[in-house]
Amino acid sequence: MDYCLETISLCKKYGDFQALNGLSMHIPKGAIYGLVGKNGAGKTTLIRLITGIQNPTSGEYSLYNIKNTDMAINKTRRRMGAVVETPAVYLDMTAEENLIMQYQILGIPNYNGITELLTLVSLADCGKKKVKDFSLGMKQRLGIAVALCGSPDFLILDEPINGLDPQGIVEIRELILKLNRDYQITILISSHILGELSKLATHYGFVDGGKIVKEIDATELELNCRKCTHLSVTDTKALCRVLDGLNIEYSLTSDTEADIFGEINITQLTLALAKENCEIMFIQKRDESLENYYMNVIGGHTNA
């Protein structure tokens, strides 16, 4: 697989504190990669290393196959835009003036792309309104526009919907999807708002204690989070015969329990099992969310 970013055993220490502890991750080109972890797990530290704000204590990473120790890494980083912690914007300037300033910093010779950028982030009609008078959502969208100056094909967003109201969350979500779908930008999103992240991500990395404890793509995650009916019976062999006869997908989870996938008619199943002298002892509907999956992964890692 072709990766936009790979990290290998990245470590970062601040005095006696180990912020990253051998973190390895893989972000495929074209992905929306959700970096999931609680506060203090190492998400922002990782982003600071990748963007070159800080250097790793040990380990390495590659951006478009260029290692961080290679002299060419600074040039390669120009393909990357980032909003780290808070949008890097000037409050006493307008949105347009902020983008002009960023163009000047990057040495872009003309301002031809600014109108398109403002339109893309829905800020084209702000006129002379100062950024200090923007809503939080508008500031976040402007921060993304600043990160997009120079036309990067890899975008890093650190908690992009933190503190936003529902409308602001929807606007950021739609912008992220558009950037990925229409502009083929690979996106790394650090977030702990898992319900929203599940509407965006194509790949996930679960981080805990400064390391990635699980990487999974959205298809595999969906299979792990399928709706099912969990039940306990007196005879799983009889249950298998009945479910096979009804052409229903299932998975045995123990000598007495099973998960049944898809919609089932409980009355029909109960009557069919009764003919096999099998009783249902317990039944429960299950719909595991990304949040539950994350807690199971982190809990299993913590208790290992």
Dump pLDDT digits (tens) for 84-103: 988 889 999 999 999 999 99
pLDDT: which is higher, 48 or 286: 48
pTM, two decimal places: 0.81
Q: Do 243 and 130 belong together in one domain?
A: no
Q: Do 108 and 164 belong together in one domain?
A: yes
Q: CATH number of the domain that 28 lies in?
A: 3.40.50.300
Contact call for residues 32 and 189 (beta carbons, < 8 A) = yes
Tally the domains of the chain: 2
Q: Do 60 and 127 belong together in one domain?
A: yes
Is the model's pLDDT at 288 over the cut of 70?
A: no
Of 123, 124, 116, 126, residue with least CA distance to 140: 123
The b/e string for 241-252 (b: 16+ C-beta within 10 A; e otherwise) is ebbeeeebebee
Q: Do 146 and 183 belong together in one domain?
A: yes
Position 293 in a domain: no
DSSP category for residue 93 = S
Domain final position from 222, 244, 263: 222
Q: How confident is the model at residue 300 (pLDDT cuts 50, 70, 90)?
A: low
Dump pLDDT digits (tens) for 200-223: 999 999 999 999 999 999 998 887
Q: How far apart are the first and last CA of the chain?
A: 30
Q: Enter the tokens of residue 110.
A: 């003309």
Is the model's pLDDT at 302 over the cut of 70?
A: no
Dump pLDDT digits (tens) for 229-256: 889 999 999 999 999 998 998 989 899 9
Q: 208 forms bridges with which residues in the sheet? A: 211
Host domain of residue 265: 226-287
Q: Do 163 and 62 belong together in one domain?
A: yes
Q: Do 129 and 263 belong together in one domain?
A: no
Q: Do 147 and 282 belong together in one domain?
A: no
Q: CATH number of the domain that 266 lies in?
A: 3.30.70.100
Q: What is the CA radius of gyration of the chain?
A: 24
Q: Do 216 and 273 belong together in one domain?
A: no
Would strands 203-208 and 280-287 be described as parallel, antiparallel, or unpaired? unpaired
pLDDT, position 160: 92
